[in-house]
Amino acid sequence: MNEPIRVRRVGDNTLRTQTVPVVFVPGVMGSRLRLGADDRWDPDSVGNMIGWATNRAETTRRLLSLATDGAVMDTGSDPPANRLARGWAGVAWGFYGRFLGDLEAQRFGAFATPVYAVGYDWRQDNRTSARAVATRIGEILREHTASKYILVSHSMGGLVTRAMLKQDAGVAGKAMGVVHIAQPALGAAVFYRRMFTGARAGPDGGALSPPGIVLRNILGTSRESFQTILSALPGPMQLMVTPQYRDTGSQPWLSVTQFEDPVRRPIDPVSWDDYLRPDSPPGLLAPRTERYALPPAREQDVRARIEDARSFHDWLQDYKHPKTWAIYGDGLETDMGAHFELPPRNDRDYRMVGGYGGPMGGAPPTWYARRSDGRTLYYRTPNPSDRGLELVRRDDGDGTVPAPSAQALFPGQRHAVVEHRTDYHERRQFRVTGEGAAHDAICHHPEAEVCLFDIMRHVLGGGQ
């Protein structure tokens, strides 16, 4: 079948033009959703986000549960009115609006490249979202009588789109090029860490930063609240670290030191079964005898979501479309793994720090325990829910996704962006750095945009 040809007149010249829609698929929580009759998830509304931040974990879980119908929003005051039909209101404008505008402003010779944003219900299993995205791409192609498109994704949108391309050969065959930006191909260690700490001030936003406070309260600030909310969400749980992930240099990413035997021991590899083990860590779920354990029903929900994640990643594996490129951020402090200095098993090993103000006021108690190797460990409470987790963070990622996960589709490739002088046949993966390379801002990082637009020129010019 021949490509559809459109005719456009510019001055006295007549140009033969071909339409190739550009489809953008956002990351987790980056689609604006109507939830049931009265609720919504809208990152562009400060009031809406504050409302979510004031909910109890069980309330957030209930509202985000798949028992509540969800639909991508199609109206909004931020996008241009003439772009609503292209789905621009369905994605968080504060994160993606500038990027969509920059993409729309590009010109690619005789090609018309209308830009579409395809939001999705990010609560669902990513394979379910993939089918919805495939349906929308089919509609877009029919609207333009086009047979080809270019696909761009951000973050978890990369998992969704890879799933779509793997399970739908028809849609995959029409993709001229695929560019994944900041994709957590092997998961994100920050996700594992939050399963023990919840969202924490510092690594998860400044202690006094209003956006940071709101985000932490939405995600859950404790082990129990974070796990309670995630127990209802198959899609986000598929961001869990996969068994294929390794820290930089193929090093183990998880390690444990027992109080009674103070030798640091790596756990490698970390399997899906390890996440379900009764000993925590590496198991995610606290024994039911612990005060911070989830209720049995929620525990079963978490187990089901972990099995969902196992099923998804065992199926997806390292699949990528043959015309794929990747862009990722680097050089920012990022969770690379986790280490646990486990607390004593015996309560008699704990001592209270002197100077405690007492039950009627003053500073809360601090507890300590001295280990046989001479190290003294301090705790806010005996047998802490975080199990003595110590952060393992380095400048080796985009602040959310560690570079080894973002690089996984093309191991060893970390090319610099060189506009107009890159061999895109051989070079498939590109690294950008600096503050603008942060996970939530990378789409409009100047170098990331230069790289994306250059790849598009390559694809539209006949490159493979």
The CB density around residue 370, as the number of other CB atoms within 10 Å, is 13
Residue 120 sits at the vertex; the CA angle it makes with 116 and 123, to the nearest 5 degrees, is 160
Domains and CATH numbers, the chain: 6-43+63-186+317-334+396-460 (3.40.50.1820)
Q: Are 99 and 88 in contact (CB under 8 A)?
A: no
pLDDT at position 358 is 54
Q: DSSP alpha helices (H): ranges in 183-260?
A: 189-197, 210-219, 223-230, 234-237
| Distance, CA of 343 to CA of 334 (rounded, Å) | 25
The CB density around residue 109, as the number of other CB atoms within 10 Å, is 10
pLDDT at position 65 is 97
By DSSP bridging, strand 6-10 and strand 13-19 are antiparallel
Conformation bin of residue 136: beta by default, left when phi > 0, alpha when psi is -120 to 50: alpha
| Distance, CA of 323 to CA of 172 (rounded, Å) | 10
Q: Are 23 and 176 in contact (CB under 8 A)?
A: no
What's the whole-model pTM score?
0.93
Percentage helix, strand, coil for the chain under 3-state DSSP, each rounded to 5: 35, 20, 45
Q: Which of 87, 83, 61 is nearest to 74 (CA)?
A: 87
Residue showing tokens 């021991």: 265
Give, for all 464 residues of the chain, the pLDDT tens digit.
334 444 444 444 445 579 999 999 999 999 999 999 999 999 999 999 999 999 999 999 999 999 999 999 999 999 999 999 999 999 999 999 999 999 999 999 999 999 999 999 999 999 999 999 999 999 999 999 999 999 999 999 999 999 999 999 999 999 999 999 999 999 999 999 999 999 999 999 999 899 999 999 999 999 999 999 999 999 999 999 999 999 999 999 999 999 999 999 999 999 999 999 999 999 999 999 999 999 999 999 999 999 999 999 999 999 999 999 999 999 999 999 999 999 999 999 999 887 655 555 556 778 999 999 999 999 988 999 999 999 999 999 999 999 999 999 999 999 998 877 778 999 999 999 998 999 999 999 999 999 999 999 999 996 55
